[in-house]
Copies of this chain bind each other. A is one copy, B any other.
């Protein structure tokens, strides 16, 4: 597993989506008959897809819509929804900014302070619409915002930062006590992001209900180039799945693993499940829905931190309704639509009757090397080739 990378030092080889493929099964199953439901913290969902807490993806309407479509979405308590009475206006500014001003404008928009009264209001809006109210905050505000959210009727609470650990060393503030917050809120808590099996295990032991896997893989996330930190998602998922299975064997408690980030096509999602995850969190793919607040743009999980911006505004374009992205019909053939249909078909091909069986599908290392032909195809698609 570990190669020598210099005298006296070894490193493991990690794998990402583009280097892995799923091996078809020995038997196949009718895709209509596979079961893709899953459970977390007592909630059962028809589809194992969560919309991520990006301001370009989630607002209260999207939260309601995701619930109707069988999954749920996470509303960011530190994004425009709690900074602005009228978040649409803030978003307009971002998507209308000229390209070279976008990072600056994003930073400015997020300088507006959070208004705590808006936390409750957003949750109530979601609940009123029949949606699962799932909201997120960074660890430093999780205790305070968690209580407010709980009171407003929050169903699931997410504590999320680039890398979250049980132990955080700071003179300024003590580590968030995950055990305590879990006991205080008494609702399911999802924590992330995480890529280490040992940290995963610590979260499980602290009573956390679900763990978000992924550091640095998203398209709007520049963590790996800015910080050099990151683990490709297939290996990160497998490592954390190992802790999930170990903890389950030891305690009988099954804590779902949610692969978050880097999946731009149906094939990537299928691979995440074959790597063992229980659900996936999708961001940029959903910005292509006309219902998404970003109107064809997204900018990761940008924060007002002027010093180290790590969210780029990326134009994805609007292609269809959220329902079509999830359930088809697909009018594009690039794997960006009918994600559920793709998962069902892949499970059928693998002979996997449910998510648990899909977690055991065989994987193969099969790098998608850029051949001359493929680069040429990219040219053609972008209208650059001659033909």
Which residues of A are at the interface with B, using a C-beta cutoff of 8 A? 1, 3-9, 11-30, 32-33, 103-104, 107, 162-173, 195-199, 215-216, 219, 222, 224-232, 234-239, 241-242, 264-271, 274-276, 306-312, 315, 317, 327-335, 338, 341-342, 345-346, 349-351, 353, 362-387
Q: Are B24 and A196 in contact (CB under 8 A)?
A: yes
Q: Are B3 and A162 in contact (CB under 8 A)?
A: no
Q: Are A28 and B227 in contact (CB under 8 A)?
A: no
What CA separation (Å) do A380 and B315 show in the bound complex? 9
Option from B8, B238, B383 in Cβ contact (under 8 Å) with A242: B8
Q: Are A1 and B4 in contact (CB under 8 A)?
A: yes
What CA separation (Å) do A312 and B380 show in the bound complex? 13
CB distance from A152 to the nearest CB of B (A): 29
Q: Are A229 and B349 in contact (CB under 8 A)?
A: yes
What CA separation (Å) do A362 and B16 show in the bound complex? 18
CB distance from A185 to the nearest CB of B (A): 22
Note all chain B residues with C-beta closer than 8 A to A342. 226-227, 308
What CA separation (Å) do A147 and B301 show in the bound complex? 56
What CA separation (Å) do A263 and B216 show in the bound complex? 19
Note all chain B residues with C-beta closer than 8 A to A12. 4, 364-365
What CA separation (Å) do A89 and B345 show in the bound complex? 32
Interface centre among A173, A311, A345, A350 (most CB of B within 10 A): A345
Given contacts A226-B333, A238-B7, A376-B382, contact A14 B341 (CB under 8 A): no
Note all chain B residues with C-beta closer than 8 A to A167. 26-28, 351
